[in-house]
Amino acid sequence: MDKIFIIDASGYLYRSYFAIREMTNSKGESTNALYGFIRCLMKLIKDFQPTHLVSVFDGPRNAIKRTTIYADYKAHRQEMPKDLRTQIVWAHQFCELMGIASLNVPEVEADDTMASVARWAAEHNSQVYLCSSDKDMCQMVSDKIFMLNTFKDNQIMGVAEVEKQFGVPPHKIVDFLAITGDASDNVPGLAGFGPKTAADLLQKFGTLDYILDHVDEVPGKKKQETLLQDREKALISRELVTVDVNVAFPKEFQFFKIKPPSIIGLKELYTQMNFSSLSRDLDQMASEHHLPSYEEQTHMEEELKEYHLISNEKELRELVELLSKQAQICVKVQSTDTHPFRTHLSGIGFGFKSNEAWYVPICEALTLETIIEVLKPLFENSALQFYGHNFKSDYQILQNYGIKVAHIGFDTILASYLLNSHGRQHSLEHLISTLFDKSKANIQSLVGKGKKQLSIHELPLDKICDFCCEEVDYIVQIKNALEPQLEKRGLSSLFFDLELPLLPILAQMERHGIFIDTRFLQNLSVEVMKEIRELETEIYALAGESFNINSPKQLSQILFEKLGIKAPKKTATGLSTNADVLESLKEAYPIAAKLLEYRTLEKLRSTYIDALPLEINPVTQRIHCNFNQSVTATGRLASQEPNLQNIPVRTEIGRKIREAFRPQKQGWSYLAADYSQIELRLLAHLSEDPKLMQAFETKSDVHTYTASLIFDVPLGEVTREQRYQAKTVNFGILYGQQAFGLSQELKIDVKTAGAFIHTYFERYHDIKKFIDHSKEIARQSGRAVTLLGRERLIPEINSTNGMIRSAAERLAVNMPIQGSQADIIKLAMIEINQRLIKEKKSSFMILQIHDELIFEVPDNEIEEMRFLVKEVMENIMQLKIPLIVDIHVGKNWKEC
C-alpha cells in the first residue's frame, strides 16, 4: 500500500449540504449533500487515481467521549437537519456500490478514526493523505502524513506548509489549538489569545505546559492573569483537540483497496436520485474498470433491430409507398447545425413501429432535389400524421426546403414536458435513460471534438444510418410510453388542443423573425460608450486611482480596503460587490451609485446594443429566435437565441434599444396588445375575494383601491407613495413575498412590512383563504394545477427542509395564477392565428412576451387588427371578472 487517501466523509457531506441548495429527487427528498459528496469523491479519484481509499464518517453518539470531559463541547451546534440524515445513509450506500471502504465507529468522531488509520498506515511505510479541511488534523502531519484540501485546488500541506500557515510545526498544533480554542467545536481556549499570540508563545517557550508553569515569564499582566485563572480551561481544551490514535478498525491493507464498482447498483441509485449527469458517466467508468457496460451487466439483450439505409430512388419510392399506408409516421431530420435557420439537410429518418426504421441520406445516388420531389407530397398529405422529438426544429428545416408538414400528430418533448413540467430535462437522451434504463450514442461520439471534429457528411453512411434510425426507434417507443400517461393524467386535451396546435404557430413566428435598425444601434453604441467612459472617469476620481472596474477582486479592494467602507456581505470567495451590496451602499457612498450606473450601461451595451446585430440572418436581414415550449414549469414560453422577451423597458436607454426594433417595410407598424393586470384578475377569479372583484368590476385602479383599503383613506386621498406600496404588496402576494422581502423592496423595517401584509389579508380575507387552500391542496396531491388542467408536480412541499418547503409553498400559490395566464394567452394566439388565416390578413404575429402579443401590421389593417386582437384576447376565456386588453400602435417597439 504505497499511498492511502482518508476521506473526511462527514465534513464533505456537511460542506455540500450548505453549499448546494434546493436539490431534490422525484419524491421531493433532498439530495444536495449526496450529490456534492459523490462529485467530490469522483473528482479526487480522477485527479489522484488512488488504489487504497477509505471514507470515514462520524459514528453514532460520537461526541460522548469529549462531552464527558467538557459538557459544552459542540453544545452550540444546531441539531443535524433531518434531510441530511437520510443523505448520510445514501452516502454509505454509494461508497459500498463504488467499492470504497467506509468506517463509522460508534461513539467515535471521524477525526479520531482518521488519525488512527493514518498513524497505522504511516507506521507501515505508506504515504497518507488526510482529505479534510479541519485544522485539528494538522497535528497528524509528518514526513509520511499530509493534509489534502480538495476544496482549495488539491492543496497539499506537509510539515513546512503547516508551520507556514500556523506559525508552529505539526507537533505543536495541539498546544496551539488549546490556547486559541476552536469556535466551531466550542473549545474554550484562552480568552484574548489569538493565533499570532499562541504561535509567538510556543516559539518562545516551546510547550503549553512550560507556559502554564512559568506564567511570570509571559509578557503582559493581563495575559498572566488569564493564564492563572483559566489554566484548567487550557488543559481541558488540549484534551478536547487531541485526536485519539487508538481507535479499533480493520488493520488489513486489503480492506482499504478500492474494489470494482457495481454499475447496476450505481445506475439504480443515480436514477432514484435524478442524477442523470452521473448516470451518463457510468459506461466510461465501466470501460475504465474493464467491466461490461450497464446493458451487458443486466443481460438485457436487444431484440433484433432492422435499420434500413435507402440507397437509391427506387428504394425511396418504395419507402414512401409503405409510409403512405401508415396513420402516424415518426420523423428525425439530420442536419449540419442545431439552429434551424443556419443548417443544411443531410438526411431524414422514418419509422412507425418499434425496432425498425429507415434512413434517407443525401448522397450521390440520392440528390437533394430527388429527395424533395419524392417526399414533399408525403409530408403535405393531410391524411398522414407526423411526429418527432422537438419536432418544431424538424418542421423548420423541412420548410427551409419548401416542404410544409400538413399535420403534426405528436411531439415527445412536449409530452414529457406536460407530464413533468417541474423537471428540467426532456432531452431524448434523458428520456431514454429514465424510461428504458438505456443510453444511446450521441453525435459527438461519431464526429469527435475540436480540431479533429468531422462534418456529418464525412461519416460513413452506415454509421449515420444506425445513429439516426436508433433515434427514430426510441422516439417511437417514447411516444408509445407517454401517450397513455397523458390520457391517464387528464392532460390529453391540453396537449392536443393547446400545445400541439401552438407548435406550427411558433414556427411561423420564428420564420417571420423581427427586423432591427442596425444603423440606429451603431449610433446608440457610440452614445453609450461615451457615457461609460465618463462614468469610468468619475469612478476613478472617487476611488483615487484607476483600476479594473469589471474585476470583483480589485473593486472589493478599492471599496472595502482603500475607502474603508464597511462590507455588508461576505461570500466564500471574499467580500461581495454584487448589485444588492451596491444598492445598499448607494445612498451613503456616491461611488456605489456610479458603479450601478456603469454596470447597467455596460450590460445593455454588451448584451443588446452590440450583440443583437450579430444575431441577424444575412439572407432575411431579420433576427430569428427560438420560442421554446418546454422550459418553464408554469407553461410560459421562453425566447432563446436570442432572448427577445428580456429587452429592457424600465430605463430610458432600454427604451431606446426598443426603438431599434421596427417593421422592415415602409407603410407598416407594430401593434402591441397586452392583458391588463391579468395575474391579479386571475387572483380575483380564483379567490373570489369580493373586495378585489369589486375593484375590477367598478374599473377602479386596483393599486389605488388596495391602498385605500390598507391605509383606510378615501380613494381620492391615496398618495402616490401609498399606491406604490400597495402595488408592491399586490404583486408580492402572488409570489409568496414575506415581511422581510417586502421590507427590502419598500426600504422599510420588517415590522412595518409585516403590518402591511397583515392588514392586506384583513381587507382581502378570501385571498388569504385561497393561499392557504392552494398550499393544502398541493400538500395532499403533490401538485398545483391551472384552470386548463396544466400540472406542476411539487413533491418538495412536504420536505423536512424548511427552505425547500417554503419555496414549494410559493410555487403552489403562484402556479395556478401564472400557469393559467400562460394558458390563456396561448389559447388567444391559436384563435388569432385562425382568424388571420380565415380573414386573409397580411398582418402577422412576431413576438409573445408573457402577457403581451406584438404584430407587424400594414397601416391599412391597423383598425381592423385593433378590433380583431382585442375581441379575441378579451373573450378567449370567461372569468368571473372581465379580461381587459390594452392596444398600442407605433412605428417601432418603443412607441408601443
| CA 867 to chain CA centroid, nearest Å | 41
| CA 517 to chain CA centroid, nearest Å | 34
Give the three-class secondary structure for 330: strand
Would you state the cell numbers that stand for residue 113, as one nine-digit string? 478514526
Q: Where are the alpha helices (DSSP H) in 380-450?
A: 391-400, 412-419, 428-436, 443-447
What is the model's pLDDT at position 444?
65
For residue 887, list its beta bridge partners. 673
Work out the pLDDT band at 293, boundaries 50, 70, 90: low
d(CA 76, CA 267): 39
Query: Do the Cβ atoms of 130 and 137 come closer than 8 Å?
Result: yes
d(CA 869, CA 97): 60
Would you state the cell numbers that stand for residue 744, as one nine-digit string? 427590502
CATH 1.10.150.20 fits 678-818, yes or no: yes
What is the model's pLDDT at position 300?
43
What single DSSP character describes residue 302? P
d(CA 753, CA 654): 31
Give CA separation, 605 vs 193, 523, 535, 645, in Å. Answer: 53, 12, 14, 17
Work out the pLDDT band at 159, boundaries 50, 70, 90: very high
Percent of the chain with pLDDT over 90: 62
What is the model's pLDDT at position 442?
66
**Which residue's entry shows cell 421590507?**
743
Sorted by sequence, the CB contacts under 8 Å of residue 114 that are 6+ apart come out as 6, 8, 56, 130, 132, 137, 140, 243
Q: Has residue 586 got a pLDDT over 70?
A: yes
d(CA 821, CA 675): 9
- pLDDT tens digit sequence for 235-292: 988 988 899 999 989 898 898 999 988 888 898 899 889 888 888 888 788 777 666 6
d(CA 396, CA 418): 22
- pLDDT tens digit sequence for 604-640: 999 999 999 999 999 999 999 999 999 999 999 999 9
- Phi and psi at 81, nearest 5°, equal -55, 140
Q: Is the peptide bond before 663 cis (omega within 30 degrees of 0)?
A: no
Which of 102-106, 414-418, 536-540, 670-674 is the least confident region? 102-106
d(CA 668, CA 374): 39
Angle made by CA atoms 719, 720, 725, in degrees to the nearest 5: 95
Q: Where are the alpha helices (DSSP H) in 544-651?
A: 552-556, 579-585, 590-604
* Closest to 177 in 3D by CA, of 151, 204, 202: 202
Strands 852-858 and 668-675: antiparallel
- Phi and psi at 130, nearest 5°, equal -90, 105
Would you state the cell numbers that stand for residue 8, as one nine-digit string? 473526511
Question: What is the spatial order of strands in the sheet that 885-890 belongs to?
Answer: 844-848, 852-858, 668-675, 885-890
Segment 754-758 long-range contacts (CB within 8 Å, at least 24 positions apart)? 756/710, 756/725, 756/729, 757/729, 757/733
Would you state the cell numbers that stand for residue 525, as one nine-digit string? 453604441
What is the model's pLDDT at position 859?
97
* Closest to 226 in 3D by CA, of 278, 276, 189: 189
Q: Has residue 176 got a pLDDT over 70?
A: yes
- Phi and psi at 144, nearest 5°, equal -115, -10
Angle made by CA atoms 304, 306, 312, in degrees to the nearest 5: 160
In this prediction, residues 406-425 reach a mean pLDDT of 93
Model confidence, pTM: 0.75
Which of 458 and 627 is assigned the larger pLDDT? 627
- pLDDT tens digit sequence for 224-233: 888 888 888 8
User: 638, exposed or middle or buried, with CB in 10 Å at 0-12, 13-18, 19+?
Assistant: middle
Fold of 306-489: Nucleotidyltransferase; domain 5 (3.30.420)
What is the model's pLDDT at position 422?
86
Query: Do the Cβ atoms of 636 and 822 come closer than 8 Å?
Result: yes
Work out the pLDDT band at 457, boundaries 50, 70, 90: low
Angle made by CA atoms 247, 250, 251, in degrees to the nearest 5: 90
Domain locations along the chain: 3-255, 260-297, 306-489, 517-615, 678-818
Query: Do the Cβ atoms of 865 and 873 come closer than 8 Å?
Result: no
Work out the pLDDT band at 664, boundaries 50, 70, 90: very high
What is the model's pLDDT at position 832?
98
Query: Do the Cβ atoms of 483 and 328 come closer than 8 Å?
Result: no
SS3 content of the chain, % helix, strand, coil (to 5): 55, 15, 30
Q: Where are the alpha helices (DSSP H) in 275-344?
A: 276-279, 282-288, 294-297, 313-323
Beta strands in 150-209, from DSSP E residues, in sequence order: 155-157
Task: Decide if 517-615 and 678-818 have a common fold.
Answer: no
**348: part of which helix (H) or strand (E)?**
strand 345-353
- pLDDT tens digit sequence for 313-370: 999 999 999 999 998 999 999 998 888 888 899 999 999 998 899 999 999 899 999 9
Reduced 3-state DSSP string for 481-498: HHHHHHHHCCCHHHHHHH
Which of 311-320, 629-638, 649-658, 734-743 is the least confident region? 734-743
Reduced 3-state DSSP string for 852-875: EEEEEEEHHHHHHHHHHHHHHHHH
**Which residue's entry shows cell 445598499?**
584
Q: Which CATH superfamily is 517-615 part of?
A: Taq DNA Polymerase; Chain T, domain 4 (1.20.1060.10)
Helices and strands, number each (H, E), in the chain:
39, 22
* CB-facing half-sphere around the CA of 395: CA atoms within 13 A: 27
For residue 332, list its beta bridge partners. 349
- pLDDT tens digit sequence for 417-449: 999 998 888 999 989 988 887 777 666 666 666
d(CA 225, CA 228): 5
Give the three-class secondary structure for 331: strand
What is the model's pLDDT at position 736?
80
Report CA dihedral (222, 223, 225, 228) to the nearest 10 degrees. 180
Q: Has residue 765 got a pLDDT over 90?
A: yes
Query: Do the Cβ atoms of 105 and 273 come closer than 8 Å?
Result: no
Query: Do the Cβ atoms of 314 and 353 come closer than 8 Å?
Result: no
d(CA 241, CA 235): 10
**146: part of which helix (H) or strand (E)?**
strand 145-149
What's the chain's average pLDDT? Answer: 90
Strands 328-335 and 345-353: antiparallel
d(CA 596, CA 249): 58
Q: Has residue 301 got a pLDDT over 80?
A: no
**Which residue's entry shows cell 436508433?**
470
Query: Do the Cβ atoms of 712 and 760 come closer than 8 Å?
Result: no
What is the model's pLDDT at position 821?
97
Which of 726 and 61 is assigned the larger pLDDT? 726
Sorted by sequence, the CB contacts under 8 Å of residue 635 that are 6+ apart come out as 421, 786, 790, 819, 822, 823, 826
d(CA 173, CA 780): 55
Which of 873 and 365 is assigned the larger pLDDT? 873
Segment 693-697 long-range contacts (CB within 8 Å, at least 24 positions apart)? 693/880, 693/881, 696/881, 696/882, 697/881, 697/882
* Closest to 132 in 3D by CA, of 118, 119, 149, 144: 149
The CATH code that applies to domain 3-255 is 3.40.50.1010
Task: Spell 186-205 as b/e; 16+ CB within 10 A means b.
Answer: ebbbbeebeeebbbebbeeb
* Closest to 513 in 3D by CA, of 396, 431, 426: 396
In this prediction, residues 778-799 reach a mean pLDDT of 93
In this prediction, residues 459-471 reach a mean pLDDT of 91
Q: Has residue 738 got a pLDDT over 90?
A: no
Give CA separation, 662 vs 506, 524, 551, 622, 653, in Å. Answer: 20, 15, 37, 11, 17
* Closest to 267 in 3D by CA, of 250, 284, 253, 280: 280
